[in-house]
Structure 1
Amino acid sequence: MLVLRPVESADLHQLQRLARESLVGVTSLTDDCERLRERIEQSCASFEKSVQSHGQENYFFVLEDLTEQRLVGCSEILATAGFTEPFYSLRNRPFTSACRELNIEHGVPALSLCHDLSDHTLLRGFHINRMLERTPHSELLSRARLLFIATHPQRFAAAVITEIVGYSTNEGHSPFWDAVGQHFFDLPYVEAERLCGQQSRGFLAELMPHYPIYVPMLPQAAQDCIGKIHPDGQEAFDILEREGFETNSYVDLFDGGPTMCARTAAIRSIAQSRAGRVQPGCSIDARGRYLVSNDSLNAYRAIVADLDYTAGQPVILDADMCAVLRVTEGSEIRLIPL
């Protein structure tokens, strides 16, 4: 059985293995032991903290194969994207110019550095073992974060965003970065992503241009990358699109990948999930597959389970499910169909 749970100090070395396997562009998951240790410590403190509104908390989850005692994925929630410093992105909107004498009005797409999204909750760090891609456990890894938000809404903002990794070649070249960021940072794309993962995003404000970048003046290859998803990032996009997330006018600074956004209360796994009470049982006449989580904070657990669920009735869980979820008779859980 696979279970999603909060990260622990003992996960460091396995987490570093996942970081080495992760896609370039997942900047929150870097192959740096000290940075990962710091991220784990921040997460453990966040799960222990008493919170009445969203702040700088970082909730780091891992997906564990209990049979093999091996981590096979990870994902995160940053309660506030720009709590300690601005969260920078590029706003892609037309710049309109007009001439009354010639009766001409023309809009030109332009990219502008901004931190409009700083107060939003940020989903990040999604990575799963390739053998589990396009399986219910990918859904578990991504959507169980949303069940956590549904259970602890006071800890998060009224809107949630995520940055989907943009296009780059198998050799690690990003046409968007080569045409834009390379001129201001004098770094290869892979190195810039690594630097951003190890440090804060504050250096971006010092080096990126504060005037609009006119899209038609970029090479066609770079223009084609704006809003384009890396093939390995498509599943993360698809899962959240089904949850009600939409692309907007913001793109990533490094590779031009799309930013997705949703009102928290309207997200499917938040709006449509249901709370229920546990009833232990020996056998289950399964009629559907569900994501199921407990209502804990620092002992949060979530699994994929085949259940016979009827709204308003107790939820029958077998002994293994109860043990993994750490629940007993009468415990409150949250569930939603896959």
Structure 2
Amino acid sequence: MSFRMRAARGKDLQALYEMAKLTGGGFTNLPADRASLAAKLARSEAALGRDDASLGDDLFVMVLENTNTGEVRGTCQLFSQVGRKWPFYSYRIGTLTQHSQELDRTFRADMLSLSTDLEGCSEVGGLFLHPGERAGGLGLLIARSRYLFMRAHRARFADRTLAELRGVIDEAGGSPFWDGLAGKFFGMNFQQADAFNAIHGNQFIADLMPKHPIYTAMLPENARAVIGAPHPSGRAAMRMLENEGFRFENYIDIFDGGPTMTVETDRIRSLADARDDTIVAIADGETKALVATGRLAEFTACYAQIDEREGGIAIDAGAARRLGVKVGDNVSHVPRW
């Protein structure tokens, strides 16, 4: 396989822009706006240039590269800590129970409360794989490389990590959840709100959204039906997150109602199971693994065939070439699923 993950660079702007146009909307971290993407790349390069062990307001952008052609065919992002520049809003699903003695009945009502509970978490997001490459485990390569990057720079990330999954979007590009709730207070459709949020942030939510809880029973049926449901194209991503230890804990996105998954960072499976070893031989191996090397802007990761040897591991020549490693270099590795 000729693919590897690496840190994004300024020259990747056009490739990211072309992929952003393929997302179909509702993909806040990858807006089809060149200026916004350029700003993300600049912010990522600044974060990659800061070589210290403090937790800041960093964004790291990574890309999936075909080393045979040089084409960028996928991407993902890591945020070191959300809620630093402006509040990080979610809806928290709760239940209010009330009892009437006169009627001898108990009523339980689901409610949505605007919340900033998840402020301070790290976030993994912006994962997109070009439709022409959705085979061969490349989605997993993108997703799991993020956790090896976090492991290599653990002090730069928080103790809890979240992932927001895109919610249900209809064939017209609208959101039943937005139309049934927030759209009634903002005078703009979902596409307009999503585009504004991607470029300017969500402070306008704090300015205009009512602060009192919302009873879900008051929402239209089509809006209630999608609360906490991922977009059909995101179901595989949700399974990948669950395999890593992420769980849905009743937080949803304020725009499209998609689920927010959370996990203790040190319990992320790929991060916890990874090992460090020295390369002692360049040779074909029997064990399929994800291997990473380098720090910050030099970070790379790819699939490899490895074998345990005395004093370290052997790695196949193709992977060694993609990673730019040789005998005596240190790498991190975790078994491939």
State the TM-score, normalizing by the size of structure 1: 0.94
Distance in 1 between the 2:192 and 2:68 partners? 37
Question: Is 2:235 the counterpart of 1:234?
Answer: yes
Q: How does 1:181-330 map to 2 (within 5 A)?
A: 181-281=182-282, 283-284=283-284, 286-309=285-308, 313-330=311-328
Choose 119-128 or 228-237, whichever is displaced more. 228-237
What amino acid is the match of 1:5?
Answer: R
Partner in structure 1 of residue 332 of structure 2? 334
Choose 235-244 or 120-129, whichever is displaced more. 235-244
Residues 53 and 153 in structure 2, CA contact (< 8 A), matched pair in contact too: no
Question: Is 2:53 the counterpart of 1:55?
Answer: no
Residues 295 and 334 in structure 1, CA contact (< 8 A), matched pair in contact too: no
Distance 1:54 1:107, change over 3 A: farther
Deviations 1:147-170 (A, max 9, x none): 111111101010100110111112
Distance in 2 between the 1:101 and 1:277 partners? 74
Deviations 1:33-62 (A, max 9, x none): 111111001001101113323220001000
What amino acid is the match of 1:317?
Answer: I
- What's the CA shift for 1:186? 1.6
Distance in 2 between the 1:112 and 1:184 partners? 16
Distance in 2 between the 1:52 and 1:205 partners? 32
Deviations 1:217-264 (A, max 9, x none): 111111110011111111211111111111111001111100100111
Secondary structure in structure 1 of the residue aligned to 2:25: coil
Aligned residues: CA RMSD: 1.7
Distance in 2 between the 1:315 and 1:182 partners? 56
Distance 1:290 1:167, change over 3 A: same
Distance in 2 between the 1:325 and 1:190 partners? 40
Residues 162 and 259 in structure 1, CA contact (< 8 A), matched pair in contact too: yes
What amino acid is the match of 1:296?
Answer: R
Distance in 1 between the 2:311 and 2:178 partners? 54
Distance in 1 between the 2:134 and 2:184 partners? 36
Residues 280 and 322 in structure 1, CA contact (< 8 A), matched pair in contact too: no
Residues 75 and 142 in structure 2, CA contact (< 8 A), matched pair in contact too: yes
What amino acid is the match of 2:170?
Answer: T
- What's the CA shift for 1:18? 1.0
Partner in structure 1 of residue 66 of structure 2? 65
% identity of equivalent residues: 31
Gap regions ≥5 residues in structure 2: none
Secondary structure in structure 1 of the residue aligned to 2:297: coil
Distance in 2 between the 1:45 and 1:116 partners? 28
What amino acid is the match of 1:308?
Answer: D
Q: How does 1:38-53 map to 2 (within 5 A)?
A: 38-53=39-54
- What's the CA shift for 1:328? 2.7
Count of aligned pairs between the two proteins = 335
Distance in 2 between the 1:236 and 1:134 partners? 14
- What's the CA shift for 1:94? 0.9
Partner in structure 2 of residue 92 of structure 1? 93
Deviations 1:283-303 (A, max 9, x none): 31x322211100422200000
Choose 222-231 or 320-329, whichever is displaced more. 320-329
Distance in 2 between the 1:51 and 1:78 partners? 16
Partner in structure 2 of residue 160 of structure 1? 161
Residues 24 and 173 in structure 2, CA contact (< 8 A), matched pair in contact too: no
- What's the CA shift for 1:114? 1.1
- What's the CA shift for 1:71? 0.7
Secondary structure in structure 2 of the residue aligned to 1:194: helix
Secondary structure in structure 2 of the residue aligned to 1:93: strand
Distance in 1 between the 2:38 and 2:65 partners? 18
Distance in 2 between the 1:298 and 1:11 partners? 14
- What's the CA shift for 1:319? 3.9
State the TM-score, normalizing by the size of structure 2: 0.94
Residues 229 and 257 in structure 2, CA contact (< 8 A), matched pair in contact too: yes
- What's the CA shift for 1:99? 5.4
- What's the CA shift for 1:327? 2.3
Distance in 2 between the 1:232 and 1:76 partners? 18
